[in-house]
Amino acid sequence: MPGKKKTRDFLERGVTHDIDEAAQRIFKSAIPMHWIENKLVRDYGKDYLIEISNAITREITGKTIYVQLKGVDGANYLYDSTVVAHKLELRHLTYYCDEIKEPVFLVVVDVQTKKGYWLFLQQYLASKKEWRSRKTYTLHIPVANDLADHIKLESEADRAIKYMRILSATTRERLDFDIQQLEAKDPRFQVIPTITRETTKYQLKALKPVAFSLTLKAPPKRGSDLADDLIGKGQAVPFAPGEVEFTGSPLFEEFNEVGGILRIVHKFDATVTLICLDEEGKEVARSMEIQGVVEGGRDEKHFRSKESRSPVEFEFGPLTQGKGGSVKIRGDSNVWKDQPLRLASYFELTHRLFTALVEHNRLIVECHQQGNLIFKVTMRMDNLEKIRPFVNFLDVLDKARKVARHFNLNPVYSEEIWKDDESVDEIITAYNVVFNNSHQVNPENHVITVTFTKSEAEKIVKQDVDLAGLKLYTSVDFKLPFMGNQLALGRLAVEATNVRMDLTVESLQQLLQEVGDGVKIPYVCSKSSSYVLRQLTDAEKEDQQEGQEHREQAN
């Protein structure tokens, strides 16, 4: 058995040697005559160093590339024979991509057909990220990269040398190089780069009308799915080499051989009007015309608002004629920053619409383009609890606007209002006192400071009791804080029940010795307490007026 195994290994090595010898003969006879091939012995992952001389003078130019030669007895042709598939190990790919500073060309020679195909490895690997997580990776070599096509081969070798040099250049130089390479392929397009931390993307802008065709060549079921996603829905769809054929521009034709991601989208400016209906189908509120963009395919479309002054962003989709999709709503009150409160853009329409939505979740979406109805759908809103906090915020802001209007104020909107509960409490207190005549505070752990005359304070010391009920009046010039202003509300009544003195009798006695008239005594409210700030009744106003007159007469 051991002897047979050695014989088989010897035979296999012999066949492999014959294929390698044949591949080398085909390679040497196929490359340009002015290329000087230097066979590398025991060089890891590289078989030849090619020196490129001038085609006419044969002078050495100093330009060099490496070649990794692979001979195969019958190449693995895929995608209607448009590419040759060949596997390489991760250790080789990492070496080529991360360590070698000169261009490396993989050349696969099919000894049966006596044809060779080349691939510039570093740029190919840079465009693919998934190979680093695999032990072996299959490379797809376009059959258009024919070793016998000297014009294309020499052009690519020259470009590969520039590419490797530019890797050590500045970011700007690399970007300019990429743009020049792309625009050289089709001067009818302007290449516009977008740079992020993760990647650089290029937008192609046609400088003149460009006609090109697209043919789906995938199997019937796959082709039907591609057509539905691409044309019907306008989605971005990954496609493999050979599944899609472009003609009409070299910029697109290279995707025939390498695959990519394709999206065909119809995009146009439009307006959307939202109409809220009650359970009987009657309109209860509607939005303004919301400016935005519609994009999608023939059957499904998405709308995204782009009104920069609106506090709400809307996204609808996928929308089809008569059928609604999902709705995404995002509130952003920052658009009101530095705007006068009473002139906050789109506030009233937004408040009215969202207040209606949380009560009636039925919504009509009408989309218009240049005044023409494009589609109209009716949908029910789910998960409305998520927008209720935004509605509560709008309710408080509505109260603030009404108070400001009542006092002829117009403070500037600021996000600082919402950073503490005290500012919000000030708005609600002012609104309730002005428009509802009274404001009741949650009394728990609330401290009331009551000012007594010295004689009244001495009675408290003698009685040593808490107050079951307390009513007192503010001064005539009492002012309530409101969004950086002081509201002159006049004299108000303060009523409290079941409050406890927050001083010991001994502390109160000490206080009486230290102050003159006007002794301030703190009282603490509990769960059983009540605390109300309210406007005076007519009878109280008369009593206060009479008291004031008596005091003036006494003086």
For the chain, how many structural domains are there in total?
Answer: 3
144-155 pLDDT, tens digit per residue, is 999 999 999 999
pLDDT of 4 above 50: no
Question: Does residue 408 lie within any of the structural domains?
Answer: no
Residue, of 526 and 261, whose pLDDT is higher: 261
pLDDT of 477 above 50: yes
Confidence of residue 463 (pLDDT cuts 50, 70, 90): low
The CATH number that applies at residue 25 is 3.40.1350
Question: Does residue 29 lie within any of the structural domains?
Answer: yes
Domain shared by 388 and 426, yes or no? no
Domain shared by 393 and 431, yes or no? no
Distance CA 143, CA 82 (A): 6
pLDDT of 54 above 60: yes
Domain shared by 315 and 424, yes or no? no
Question: Does residue 216 lie within any of the structural domains?
Answer: no
Domain shared by 92 and 149, yes or no? yes
pLDDT score for 361: 75
pLDDT score for 341: 92
Domain shared by 426 and 376, yes or no? no
Domain shared by 536 and 489, yes or no? yes
Distance CA 295, CA 318 (A): 10
270-279 pLDDT, tens digit per residue, is 998 888 888 8
pLDDT of 505 above 80: no
Domain shared by 156 and 27, yes or no? yes
Domain range for 359: 276-291+305-398
Task: Among 135, 168, 201, give the residue marking a domain's end.
Answer: 168
pLDDT mean over 321-347: 82
Question: Does residue 283 lie within any of the structural domains?
Answer: yes
Q: Is residue 430 a contact partner of residue 387, using CB atoms and an 8 Å limit?
A: no
Domain shared by 430 and 509, yes or no? yes
SS3 408: coil
Single-letter residue type at 473:
Y
User: Which of 316-320, 382-386, 391-395, 522-526: highest mean pLDDT?
Assistant: 391-395
Task: Among 137, 168, 199, give the residue marking a domain's end.
Answer: 168
**Which residues are bridge partners to 131 per DSSP?**
none
Domain shared by 46 and 159, yes or no? yes
pLDDT mean over 337-342: 92
Alpha helices in 104-149 (DSSP H): 121-126
Domain shared by 431 and 530, yes or no? yes
Question: Does residue 258 lie within any of the structural domains?
Answer: no
Domain shared by 34 and 159, yes or no? yes
List phi, psi (to 5°) of 300: -120, 140
Question: Does residue 379 lie within any of the structural domains?
Answer: yes
